[in-house]
Structure 1
C-alpha cells in the first residue's frame, strides 16, 4: 500500500524563545572566524566558516522530469524542463590546507538558473536562481542552535585538538558530548556525537561517487521532504579513480574530480523523500535518518555534468566568488527546523563579510555562462 504523506503545516516547526539571541551569537563567532581566516588559513583570502576548501566549479544542467506523481510534482518540480546549473564540490571543514587534515565530510552545492518565483532572501528576491547545499551523509551532527554554539567552537579548534594525538582526540570527544562541560549528564549530546561519528566514518571516495543529502527537511509544496543527489549507477560504474588516499598528496580530491570530468560526462539523480511519519521522520532532529522503508526516494530530476576541463586556477577563483545558501529558494521549498532557520542569516552575513574582505563583487549571476563561458 502506498504511504500516506504528512501535509506541510507551519506547526511542524518548533520555535525556541531564545532563538534570536543564540543566532546572533553564532553570527558573531562566524564573523570573527572569517575575519581571522585571512591570516590563519594561509590562503591570503577570507574563507567560508564551513566548506572552506572547494574542489572545483562545474557546469551542469538540471532536467526536471515529466509525468511525475502529483505528490512529487510540487514547486519547481511541477514544470518539466531544462535549466543550466553550476556546482561547487567542497570539503565540509572550516579550514583550508591539505586534504588529509580536513576530514571526510564533503559537499555538493548546486545553483539552478531561470527558476520562476521570488526567493526567500529579502535582499535578492528576483535572482531567478535556486540553491541546494547538500552533504555526503543522511544525518547532521547538530540539532539546535544552542548546541551549535559549542559544536562550532569545537570544529574551529579541531586541528589543535587532533594535533595532540590520542589525548587530544579524547578531549575533543569529551567536550563534544558534554558541551564543553556545560551540559548536565542527562543532557549530554550523545545523539549528536553519534551522528558526528557517522559523518566522520564515511569512506574516502571520488567526489562523484558520494550521495549528497539536504542537511535537514524542506517544504516540498504541500508536503515535507528531504532531497538528495545520488550518482547514476551507470555513470558511477565508469569512474576510474574510485578511492581516495589523502596520504598520497596534499590535494587528492580535486585532481580525481578534474580527471574524471575531463574524460567523460556524469549524471546524478535528484531525488525527493516525502515525510510519511513525523515521529519517525522528524523535522527538528537532524541526527535521525529517515527510513526509506516508510518512504522511498523518488527521482524528480536529472543533474547532468557534461565533459569539461575545470583544471585552471581561474576555475577556483570563480568558484570562491559565488555564494550558495539553502534559503535561495522559492517559498514552496522553504527550509524547515531550527537549525535550518539559523542558516538563513548566518549564510547571508558570512557571504557579505567574505566578499568585502576579499574585494569581490557580491552579485548573483544571471546565467551559468556568465560565470563559466
Structure 2
C-alpha cells in the first residue's frame, strides 16, 4: 500500500532565486499595515494582516487515534494519546467591522499542547505546541511570494476598490489578473484569480459547519499531504443555527458559534490526504484541488470541543493575544511550497510587530488552562 504514496524529498519544492528579496518586501508591507491599523482599523489595537477579526477562542481536546495504518501514523500521529488544545475561529479578511462587509472566508487556527520535539521556529524551539492555520477552502489564490506582492496590496486596499461599486470591482479584478500591470499577458494570474472567485462564492454558514484545509501541502513524515479539519457528521447534524445571513445584523458568526457551544459539545475529525501524483496533486500550485478519488482523506485524530461559554470581551482579548503559525510544528510536518515557505517569516514578523504595538507579552502558553483558566 505504501508504494502508491509519493515520498517526501527536498526536490518536490522549486527554487526561486528572488525569494528572499520578494519576502522582505512583503514583510515590510505587512509591518507597515499593522502599524497603520492601530488608527485605521477602528479598534485602537494593531490588527493581524489577515484573519484580523476573531469569532472566539475555544477550548478543545485532540485525541490522536490508535491503530492507524503506518503511512498515516507519521510524526505526531505516530503516538496515540490525548492533548489539550485551543481553537481560534476567524474571518479571513485583513479588516474588521460588520460581518457583511468581510465576506465568508473563515479560518480555524488550532494549537495543540504537550507535543514533544523542537518546532521549526528557531526563536522558540521548545514551546511544546503545534499549530495549524487552516482556511475553509481546499484551494488558495496565491502560489508564489512574487505574486503575493500585488495580491497582498489588493486585499489590504480592497475596501477602497469595492466601495466604488461595479467600476471599483472591475478595477480590482483587472489589477488581480494583470498583477497591477506588471505581468506579461501569457503570465496573467488567471488560475489564482479563478481560485479567488471560487473562494469568494463560499456561502456563509455557522463556522462549526465548515471544513478547513491547510492552505498548501505539508510534510507528513515520510510522505506529502494536505490536512483537513472537518465536522464530525453526528455533531454537525445537531447544530441548530446553520445558515448565516450577514445582512441580518452587524455580528452573526460569533453569536451563532457562542450559542451552539453554550448548549452542546461539538467535534471535528482531523484528516490527512496523502499525495499519490505530483502532477495532479501538486506542491507548488495551491489553486489545484487534490482529487479525493486519487487519495481519500483519512481520519487520524478527533478534535472535541466541550460545552462552554465563550461570551464576554475577555475571551476576545485572550484570543487576540495568541499567536498561530503553520511553522510552529515539528520537522516531520514542515509546510511545503513557495507560498507556504513565505508564511514562516511573514507570520513571525507580523506577530512580533502586533504584540509590540499592543504591549502584549509574546510568549507561548503551556496549556489551555494557562490562557482560559481551569474548566468550570
TM class by smaller structure: over 0.9
Match of 1:353 in 2: 353
Q: How much does 1:3 deviate? A: 7.2
Please state whether the residue corresponding to 1:50 is helix, strand or coil.
coil
1:110 equivalent in alignment to 2:110: yes
- The answer (yes or no) to whether the contact 1:335–1:341 under 8 Å persists in 2 is yes
Alignment of 1:2-151 (within 5 A): 4-151=4-151
Residues 233 and 3 of structure 1: CA distance in aligned 2, closer, same or farther (over 3 Å): farther
Alignment of 1:294-305 (within 5 A): 294-305=294-305
Q: How much does 1:215 deviate? A: 0.2
Greater Cα shift, 74-83 or 162-171: 162-171
Q: Deviations over 1:175-206 (max 9, x none)?
A: 10010111111111000000001110111000
Q: How much does 1:19 deviate? A: 0.2
Runs of 4+ in structure 1 deviating by more than 4 angstroms, as ranges, are none
1:173 equivalent in alignment to 2:173: yes
Q: Distance in 2 between matches of 1:165 and 1:187?
A: 28
Please state whether the residue corresponding to 1:269 is helix, strand or coil.
strand
Q: Distance in 1 between matches of 2:339 and 2:15?
A: 11
Q: Distance in 1 between matches of 2:164 and 2:32?
A: 25
Q: Deviations over 1:62-81 (max 9, x none)?
A: 00000000000000000000
Q: Distance in 1 between matches of 2:348 and 2:188?
A: 31
Alignment of 1:208-223 (within 5 A): 208-223=208-223
Q: Distance in 2 between matches of 1:172 and 1:353?
A: 28
1:185 equivalent in alignment to 2:179: no
- The answer (yes or no) to whether the contact 1:6–1:224 under 8 Å persists in 2 is yes
1:273 equivalent in alignment to 2:300: no
Q: Distance in 2 between matches of 1:346 and 1:214?
A: 17
Match of 1:344 in 2: 344
Match of 2:195 in 1: 195
- The answer (yes or no) to whether the contact 2:2–2:71 under 8 Å persists in 1 is no
Please state whether the residue corresponding to 2:205 is helix, strand or coil.
coil
Equivalenced residue count is 373
- The answer (yes or no) to whether the contact 1:3–1:294 under 8 Å persists in 2 is no
Q: Distance in 1 between matches of 2:124 and 2:3?
A: 38
Q: Gaps (5+ residues) in structure 2?
A: none
Q: Distance in 1 between matches of 2:246 and 2:3?
A: 43
Q: Deviations over 1:14-55 (max 9, x none)?
A: 110000000000000000000000000100000000000000
Q: Distance in 2 between matches of 1:323 and 1:3?
A: 38
Q: How much does 1:103 deviate? A: 1.2
Q: Distance in 2 between matches of 1:315 and 1:60?
A: 14
Please state whether the residue corresponding to 1:247 is helix, strand or coil.
helix
Give me the TM-score of the superposition, normalised by structure 2.
Answer: 0.98
Match of 2:319 in 1: 319
TM-align CA RMSD: 0.8
Q: How much does 1:2 deviate? A: 8.2
- The answer (yes or no) to whether the contact 1:3–1:276 under 8 Å persists in 2 is no
Match of 1:259 in 2: 259
Please state whether the residue corresponding to 1:83 is helix, strand or coil.
strand
- The answer (yes or no) to whether the contact 2:93–2:105 under 8 Å persists in 1 is yes
Q: Distance in 2 between matches of 1:41 and 1:252?
A: 20
Please state whether the residue corresponding to 2:192 is helix, strand or coil.
helix
